[in-house]
Each structure stands twice: as structure tokens, then as C-alpha cells.
């Protein structure tokens, strides 16, 4: 009996020891209105080094005026007279941010509750809504030409040049769409310095897909085209499909230009921009930005609910390659990848964020506003109103991890 008891005890102990290896701990998902904080040391940080990283980033605050009604036209002064605001702005907060590790709040600083403009991070919200249109079958393939989805009387894609453009090219900013939208012509967006508006108009045209060019007018064309497909305001779709399920606050708002109300199926609807270039765009706080980043850290799944399909995320994370070799760090807007694709000549660009995992991504906006998503280190970082890149700060945070 003693030997049988000993054998049973050994087998039972082996089962108990192996059980955690087979059943990984379920990730923590913050409920609405609350996000559990844990001492940095308890979730794998060297607390002193993490504190040093936060102290460092505080020295990098954007020193430009906080009055964005003044700052935006100055930032895009080269576009005058087309740099005028046609959307709302507000005076912004100072630097603030959040560090999330293993799902828990490891650090915060500044006014993380203030819903501020987030500029081109808005583009990632836009591309996510396009993904919802694909998932719903309203866009059958991103390689379809957009023209075939537009209702009669909408002339966004009726010209010979624009008729060739696909959803994929709009998402990757390789469309070379030509025209004017909401009083802003495509050629007045980031024009060559030292030239006049008359020279801007004579820009060289390229085939859709041939060249990556960051251009907010074309981003807004994607937004308007998606509105015609979805037939309801994109902020409504985003709220229902993404922001409410992830427990976002009720303080975020996605603002249209003052002249961007269009008729969709006989109903007036706002067409929202993909940034704050001319005012408007997404106004959001650091907590809600962190929730959005955390959704993608968990592969589009929020507490068992698949909100964004893995196939869409895989496409978003695929680097753009064009004939001229540009745009190799850009996936779908505004997914900036740390593992650029090889150029057509076989050479490979340097990582955007040296020293950090190849799989890391950033959502990037002027100001500067960043959401850093690092699955290898189970890390989301939001940093707002920093001068320059966030890369050195991310490296310091990652360097403060003791357990990876």
C-alpha cells in the first residue's frame, strides 16, 4: 500500500506541476472606467530605472505653443494660403502618457484624462473602421477599385486617373489621387518648398501604386469613400464596433471640418478627416489611446471578443513596397512598422526604432503623439506632446524590464 500511495503521489505532483504550463494565465482586460495599477517591481520592472525613463521623457516636452489654433497653421506654413483651419481645435495639455505592462498600469504622468487632438493617430482609427467595412462584406476586397463602390453622382473616382485607384492604395497612401476635397487640393498638401502655388499645380502625376506619398487630402478621400460604403457616420461605427466594447470613456470625439457635411442616401452626414492637419480629427485622452493600443497588443481580441480580425491586422502590419522603394516602414494608415520590407533592389532600410523588436509598431501623430505596441515585451506605451521621436524613451522603458 505504501508503494502504491507513493506512485499516486508522484503522478499527482507531475500533473499539478505541468498544469500551469498547459494553461497560460488569462490576460487582464481593464473594465470600463478603471484600469488596475501595479507597482512596477511587481510586474517585472526595475523601479528605479523605470522612474529614470519617465524623468527622461519629461525633459522632452514639445515647447511650441499649446494653442493649436496658432500652432497648426505655423507647422504647415509652407502650404499658405491653403494652411487655414476649417475644423475645430483646442488648447492642448502638456506632456502626458501611460505605460502598460502585462495588462496593468505601470506608470502615468501628466494630464492623462484630457481629451486632446491626436492628429494622425486618427488615421489608425480610420483604417480600423475600413477593416470593419471589409469584415461586414461592404468592401469585398481591398484590391477592388474604389470607383465601383461609389453611388451615382459621386465623382471622387470618375476621372481616368482616379478610376484606377484601389482601397489598398488609399490605405497605403500610394493612390496619387488627384483633385480637391473640402477646399483643399491634393497638390497643396506638403508641397515642395521654394515653389509657388502655380508651380504646385503642375506636379508630376504617377500611376496609382507607384509611389508612397503622405497626403491628408487623399486620406480624407478614403474617409469619405468609406462613409458612402458604410452609410452611417464613421464615429458611430467606431463607437459601436470598437470603442464601447473596449471600455473607452465618453470623452473622445471625432470632429469633421465645418464644410464636410455630405449627403448619403438622402441624409446629411459628417465626413470626418483622418488627422488634424486643418483642424478636427480625433480628440481623445491617453487612457483611451492606451485601450486602443492594448486591443492590438492582444491581436484584436478584447476579453474573448474578436473585434478586429487577425487577417486585417496581418495586412495592416505588411510593409508597403513601391516601384521607387519609398514607404517601406508604412503598413496601412497609420501603422508604422519596425521591420521595413526590402526595397525592390534588395536592400533593406534600417529599423525605424533601433534596439527594439522587429515586430513593434507605432501609431504616429503630429505634436508628437505616439502609441507604441510591443508584443514581445507585452508593452503598450502612450506618450503625448513629446518633441521628436519616442524611440529613445521606449528603449529606456524596455531596458528597465527585469523579466521579459
| In the predicted structure, residue 252 carries a pLDDT above the cut 50 | yes
- Judged by phi (left if over 0) then psi (alpha if -120 to 50, else beta), residue 235 lies in alpha
Place of cell 497626403: 215
Residue 159 lies in a domain: yes
pLDDT exceeding 70 applies to what percent of the chain?
93
Residue 317 lies in a domain: yes
Q: List Cβ neighbours of 333 (8 Å cut-off, separation of 6 or more).
A: 120, 123, 124, 126, 127, 171, 172, 173, 219, 222, 274
| In the predicted structure, residue 17 carries a pLDDT above the cut 90 | no
Q: List Cβ neighbours of 324 (8 Å cut-off, separation of 6 or more).
A: 210, 211, 212
Q: Structural domain of residue 177, as residue ranges? A: 40-399
Within 231-309, residue ranges assigned H as helices are 234-238, 286-297
| For range 32-51, the mean pLDDT | 96
395-399 long-range Cβ contacts below 8 angstroms, 24+ apart: 395/353, 395/355, 395/356, 396/49, 396/52, 396/53, 396/56, 396/57, 397/50, 397/53, 397/99, 398/355, 398/356, 398/374, 399/49, 399/53
Provide the pLDDT for residue 325. 65
Residue 97 lies in a domain: yes
Instruction: Give CA torsion, residues 336, 164, 264, 313, to 10 deg.
Output: -30
| For range 257-269, the mean pLDDT | 97
| In the predicted structure, residue 11 carries a pLDDT above the cut 70 | no
Q: What are phi and psi of 98, to 5 degrees?
A: -140, 140
Is residue 307 within 8 Å of residue 295, measured between CB atoms?
Answer: yes
| For range 91-113, the mean pLDDT | 98
Q: 36: number of CA atoms within 13 Å, CB side?
A: 12
Q: What are phi and psi of 335, to 5 degrees?
A: -85, 110
* DSSP count for the chain of H helices, then E strands: 11, 15
- The count of domains in the chain is 1
Provide the pLDDT for residue 9. 45
Provide the pLDDT for residue 327. 59
Tell me 240's DSSP state.
I
Residue 68 lies in a domain: yes
Residue by residue, DSSP assigns 45-75 as B-HHHHHHHHHHHHTTB--S-SBHHHHHHHH
* C-alpha dihedral sign at 198, 203, 208, 213: negative
State the burial class of residue 186 (Cβ atoms within 10 Å of its Cβ: 0-12, 13-18, 19+).
buried
State the burial class of residue 8 (Cβ atoms within 10 Å of its Cβ: 0-12, 13-18, 19+).
exposed
Residue 257 lies in a domain: yes
Residue by residue, DSSP assigns 181-223 as ETTEEGGGSSPPTT--HHHHTTPPP--TTS-----HHHHHHHH
CA–chain centroid gap for 288, Å, is 12
Place of cell 471622387: 156
| For range 244-248, the mean pLDDT | 98
Residue 8 lies in a domain: no
Provide the pLDDT for residue 363. 98
Provide the pLDDT for residue 344. 73
| In the predicted structure, residue 39 carries a pLDDT above the cut 50 | yes
What is the pLDDT of the chain when averaged over all its residues?
Answer: 92
- pLDDT tens-digit readout, 203-219: 999 999 999 999 999 99
Say which residue, 122 or 325, is predicted with more confidence. 122
Provide the pLDDT for residue 340. 82
Which cell numbers hold the place of 83?
A: 494652411
Provide the pLDDT for residue 23. 54
Residue 125 lies in a domain: yes
pLDDT exceeding 90 applies to what percent of the chain?
87
Residue 269 is part of a domain; what is its CATH number? 3.40.710.10
Provide the pLDDT for residue 19. 42
Nearest to 362 by CA among 304, 296, 299: 296
Tell me 381's DSSP state.
E
- pLDDT tens-digit readout, 291-333: 999 999 999 999 999 999 999 999 999 999 887 766 578 999 9
Residue 12 lies in a domain: no
Residue 18 confidence class, pLDDT cut points 50, 70, 90: very low
Is residue 87 within 8 Å of residue 258, measured between CB atoms?
Answer: yes
Rounded to whole angstroms, the Cα distance separating 282 from 292 reads: 13
Amino acid at each position: 500500500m505504501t508503494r502504491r500511495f507513493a506512485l499516486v503521489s508522484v503522478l499527482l505532483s507531475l500533473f499539478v506541476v505541468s498544469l500551469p504550463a498547459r494553461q497560460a494565465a488569462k490576460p487582464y482586460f481593464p473594465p470600463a472606467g478603471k484600469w488596475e495599477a501595479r507597482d512596477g517591481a511587481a510586474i517585472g520592472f526595475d523601479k528605479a530605472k523605470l522612474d529614470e525613463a519617465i524623468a527622461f521623457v519629461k525633459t522632452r516636452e514639445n515647447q511650441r505653443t499649446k494653442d493649436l489654433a496658432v500652432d497648426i497653421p505655423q507647422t504647415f506654413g509652407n502650404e499658405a494660403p491653403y494652411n487655414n483651419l476649417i475644423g475645430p481645435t483646442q488648447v492642448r495639455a502638456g506632456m502626458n502618457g501611460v505605460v502598460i505592462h502585462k495588462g496593468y498600469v505601470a506608470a502615468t504622468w501628466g494630464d492623462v484624462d484630457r481629451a486632446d487632438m491626436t492628429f494622425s493617430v486618427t488615421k489608425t482609427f480610420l483604417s480600423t473602421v475600413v477593416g470593419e467595412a471589409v469584415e461586414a462584406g461592404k468592401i469585398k476586397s481591398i484590391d477592388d477599385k474604389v470607383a465601383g463602390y461609389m453611388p451615382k453622382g459621386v465623382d471622387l473616382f470618375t476621372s481616368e486617373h482616379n478610376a484606377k485607384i484601389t482601397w489598398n492604395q488609399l490605405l497605403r497612401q500610394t493612390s496619387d489621387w488627384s483633385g480637391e476635397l473640402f477646399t483643399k487640393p491634393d497638390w497643396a498638401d506638403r508641397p515642395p518648398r521654394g515653389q509657388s502655388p502655380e508651380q504646385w499645380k503642375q506636379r508630376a502625376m504617377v500611376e496609382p501604386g507607384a509611389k508612397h506619398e503622405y497626403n491628408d487630402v487623399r486620406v480624407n478621400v478614403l474617409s469619405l469613400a468609406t462613409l458612402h460604403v458604410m452609410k452611417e457616420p464613421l464615429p458611430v461605427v467606431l463607437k459601436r464596433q470598437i470603442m464601447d466594447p473596449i471600455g473607452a470613456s465618453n470623452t473622445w470625439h471625432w470632429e469633421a471640418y465645418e464644410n464636410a457635411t455630405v449627403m448619403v442616401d438622402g441624409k446629411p452626414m459628417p465626413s470626418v478627416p483622418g488627422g488634424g492637419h486643418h483642424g478636427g480629427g480625433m480628440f481623445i485622452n491617453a487612457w483611451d489611446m492606451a485601450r486602443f493600443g492594448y486591443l492590438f497588443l492582444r491581436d484584436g481580441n478584447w476579453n474573448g471578443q474578436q473585434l478586429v480580425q487577425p487577417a486585417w491586422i496581418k495586412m495592416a502590419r505588411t510593409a508597403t513596397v513601391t516601384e521607387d522603394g519609398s514607404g517601406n516602414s508604412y503598413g496601412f494608415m497609420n501603422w508604422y512598422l519596425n521591420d521595413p520590407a526590402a526595397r525592390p533592389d534588395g536592400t533593406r532600410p534600417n529599423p525605424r526604432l533601433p534596439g527594439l523588436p522587429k515586430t513593434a509598431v507605432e501609431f504616429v501623430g503630429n505634436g508628437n503623439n505616439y502609441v507604441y505596441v510591443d508584443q514581445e515585451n507585452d508593452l503598450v506605451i502612450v506618450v503625448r506632446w513629446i518633441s521628436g521621436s519616442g524611440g529613445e524613451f521606449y528603449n529606456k522603458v524596455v531596458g528597465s524590464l527585469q523579466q521579459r
